[in-house]
Amino acid sequence: MDGGRRRVAVTGVGVVSSCGIGVEAFWSGLFAAPADGLRRVTDFDPTPWFDNPKEVRRADRFQQFALAAAGEALEQSGPLPQDPLRIGVLVGTGIGGLTTLEDQVIVRYDKGVRRVSPFLIPMVMGNAPAAAVSMRYGFQGPCETTVTACAAGTHSVANAFHLIASGRCDAVVAGSTEAAMTETGIAGFTNMTALSSTGVSCPFDRRRDGFMMSEGAGALVLEEWSSAEARGATILAEVLGGASTADAHHITAPSPGGSGAVACMQLALDDAGLSADDIVHVNAHGTSTPLNDAAEAQAMATLFGTPGPAVTSIKGVTGHSLGAAGSIEAVAVVLSMRHGVLPPTFGFAERDPELPEIDIVTGDGRPWTPGATLSNSFGFGGHNGTIVLQPA
């Protein structure tokens, strides 16, 4: 870590999740046993985040989620530094506006090409949520979208951290969003056998057989530390570093032994100026698929030994929200630090004898003294992402 680079504070968080809309409901939901099956966001009302109903109709669901999460995070953060050219927006996604795309393909098939919506393209394009946030709040700095499958959220936070640490930006709204639970989207994941055939998400458990598909969005306001202090903002946590690697192995399967994940975690530690011994908690990607959980468990054992730091996968509750997962989980890490409790890994009941004996948090959660934490995300295509956070 460069000792001269700028410190990066988290001053706001926002979330839309299947276990709760808004930070308070989300946090409570992480401790409640979920129903089996797909994890949809229910009772979501996008209207508070738009000026009129027409704008709502012209925004795909994944954009609506992003505006809600970003709006909550910005409300908590309070007024940001005044130069709009130094405030960025990085909102990732894995798939983009699949709901609109599927709907409009059906319209074309049933009614002809002249009935296809003129708003199809701006509603489908992956960068629509980042653009919408920048336009709503007047932020004119870097406005970008990372599309790295299920690593998109973690990559967005890491990239935002580096924009601030390097001096390019004073603040960045960072996060990710996903709403791909269409009939075709679900069929695609089902037919590739990625989804659980039993309807249960049980990360690292012996019985795991796939993930439960979900949706949602997470957002964090990252800000240069002294700027946040000067304006009297409440600093929720600090981002210390982040890293990205590629497995260069297979389009869906992780590299054997989690070698790409090991490299990514080590690079993130190096970026943060920490060693493996400094880490007391890992928010695992923990999707509940046989290959991912095995590779990630082996990677953690390689880097930390066993049992190593406390490990949680919130996907037992939230399901796997694809590109939104990393930012939603970063929010969970910040809340865990604020509350002094680690949420449990719901669904974990039978230890897999084929996996290293990592320290998985179960039951009702675990009180902890908050400390340096890794948050991991791994995506189809071999994308690996890790960020390092610590209490404020």
Catalytic, out of 19, 150, 202, 264:
150
Q: What is the DSSP string of 16-65?
A: EETTEESHHHHHHHTTSPPPSS-B---S---GGGSSSHHHHHTS-HHHHH
Degrees to nearest 5, angle at CA 236 with 233 and 241: 115
Instruction: Give me the residue label for tokens 């890491």.
Output: 158
Catalytic, out of 155, 162, 281, 320:
320
Catalytic, out of 155, 162, 281, 285:
285
Instruction: Give me the residue label for tokens 């990205």.
Output: 244
202 given a catalytic annotation: no
**DSSP character for 4?**
T
Residue 82 in contact with residue 171, Cβ under 8 Å?
no
Query: Which residues does 152 contact at the CB level (< 8 Å), separation at least 6?
Result: 92, 93, 94, 146, 176, 323, 324, 326, 377, 379
Q: What is the DSSP string of 95-138?
A: S--HHHHHHHHHHHHHH-GGGS-TTHHHHHSTTHHHHHHHHHHT
150 given a catalytic annotation: yes
Give the whole-angstrom CA distance, residue 343 versus residue 247. Answer: 29
Residue 307 in contact with residue 357, Cβ under 8 Å?
yes
Give the whole-angstrom CA distance, residue 224 versus residue 354. Answer: 44
Nearest to 362 by CA among 378, 342, 381: 342
Structure tokens at 377: 């995300």
- The H or E element spanning position 377 is strand 373-379
Nearest to 283 by CA among 166, 197, 378, 218: 378
169 given a catalytic annotation: no
Residue 203 in contact with residue 351, Cβ under 8 Å?
no
Give the whole-angstrom CA distance, residue 355 versus residue 168. Answer: 43
Query: 308 in the Ramachandran plot: left (φ > 0), alpha (ψ -120 to 50) or beta?
Result: left
Residue 364 in contact with residue 378, Cβ under 8 Å?
no
- Residues with active-site annotation: 150, 285, 320
